[in-house]
Structure 1
């Protein structure tokens, strides 16, 4: 048995043992209030750069249109190593779900558009966005997650434990990073982050579908169409038209702008 296979087996055993322990403790946990909810999602944003273009994406783990955007326009943009020097991206996974507070545990339960597996995927994805830095690495892991989800013939068969282990190997995240994700989505913190994603999503009173994309806090159908078609072209065009700046990765797009 080689070292990689041994590491995968040990990681899988840790994952299942941790999930069992957390499941026994979950009913005893309590939400800690708004202070713990609001801060985590902010740390992946480079808020010190006020000149960056802000992109807020509201998504669902098993939404076909969301998968198409994440595995298409967003993935192609991420292949440009410097695009995130000009773009802040945050993704919230909740979409058309519903949440209900359990008064006994003071935790939230969820009903999702594409079933329980989507609720689980939303929680995993929110934990990835919160626990993995830098943001490019987090989004690359989200992309891997969506790629692996699409390999399943039936939604009911989706296994996020196995998917995380595959992405752990493919994207070369560390064992500590994997453990942070598992601890988050298996426990109270995942519930808190899911609630925050719900609050953020429900605050978008105009939201009609997902993916729902805001540019600098506003939704515009023309911008949405441009972003979902070609995010790089949109960023190039935005900086050229609004700031008279030609970005270094835009040369190949000049003909289209």
Structure 2
């Protein structure tokens, strides 16, 4: 069974997932395509979603970004379409639950208004076991979503080497992207649409090439 702290972290990650959208809305064709390939019980994925990816909303970058979450990661898909997850069956269940959340709440602006994504995940006390009945109903109904995510992950070119795996306009992040500031700067640079750039894109601190830039927080990768 996952520890209490891990359970709370996963659940908060699920709350954050409700603030993001897989579906396109009007005007998204001009947005920068930011895809995250991950798995629910990977510690590095959890840290990235909670501590780093949430800054897309903190700095209004969601206005120029189409964020797509793909919950499959390092899972394996057999010839008979059986899925084996890296961290066991519990991870497969949570991946299915998150796939349901991504599908059910397609409007990030609405959900952003309903949830305070700054809530500390340490205050969440739900137990994953209490979600078992919900998950059982979700798994069958959402199985085709997981298979679609499996196809999207397996079809990556070049293939993903670990998770979290992030692509920007279809290309994996290169070695020059070493912090969330780097990633935000790349998003600002890649945007070619007509919407006004968020204020952070004009920040000299963000766009500078200072050698004192913070080290990328993500240190735990799942391979």
- TM-score normalized by the length of structure 2: 0.65
For residues 151 and 126 of structure 1, do their structure 2 counterparts lie closer, same or farther at Cα, with a shift above 3 Å needed?
Answer: same
Does 1:218 pair with 2:168? no
Match for residue 118 of structure 1 among 83, 91, 108: 91
Q: Give the CA deviation at 1:62.
A: 0.7
Q: Give the CA deviation at 1:246.
A: 7.3
**Which string of whole-angstrom CA distances, capped at 9 and with x for unpartnered residues, describes residues 95-148 of structure 1?**
11123465xxxxx4321111111111111111111111213538x98x79x947
Corresponding residue of 2:199: 249
Corresponding residue of 1:197: 149
For residues 71 and 48 of structure 1, do their structure 2 counterparts lie closer, same or farther at Cα, with a shift above 3 Å needed?
Answer: same
Aligned length: 181
Partner Cα separation in structure 1 for residue 141 and residue 177 of structure 2: 31
Match for residue 62 of structure 1 among 26, 41, 44: 41
Write 1 or 2 for the structure with the bigger share of helix: 1
CA contact (8 A) 1:45 1:89 kept: no
Match for residue 65 of structure 2 among 75, 87, 91: 87
Corresponding residue of 1:53: 32
The structure number with the bigger radius of gyration is 1
Partner Cα separation in structure 2 for residue 44 and residue 99 of structure 1: 24
Corresponding residue of 1:129: 102
Corresponding residue of 1:97: 75
Q: Give the CA deviation at 1:235.
A: 2.6
- The 5-angstrom pairing of residues 162-201 of structure 1 reads 182=134, 186-201=138-153
For residues 160 and 226 of structure 1, do their structure 2 counterparts lie closer, same or farther at Cα, with a shift above 3 Å needed?
Answer: farther
Partner Cα separation in structure 2 for residue 91 and residue 85 of structure 1: 17
CA contact (8 A) 2:36 2:167 kept: yes
Corresponding residue of 1:208: 161
Q: Please give the root-mean-square deviation of Cα atoms over the aligned residues, in Å.
A: 3.8
Unaligned runs of 5+ in 1: 1-41, 103-107, 163-181
Unaligned runs of 5+ in 2: 1-20, 208-223
Q: Give the CA deviation at 1:57.
A: 0.9
CA contact (8 A) 1:98 1:112 kept: yes
Q: Give the CA deviation at 1:218.
A: 1.3
Deviates more, 1:186-195 or 1:65-74: 186-195
Equivalent residue of 1:256, what SS? Answer: helix
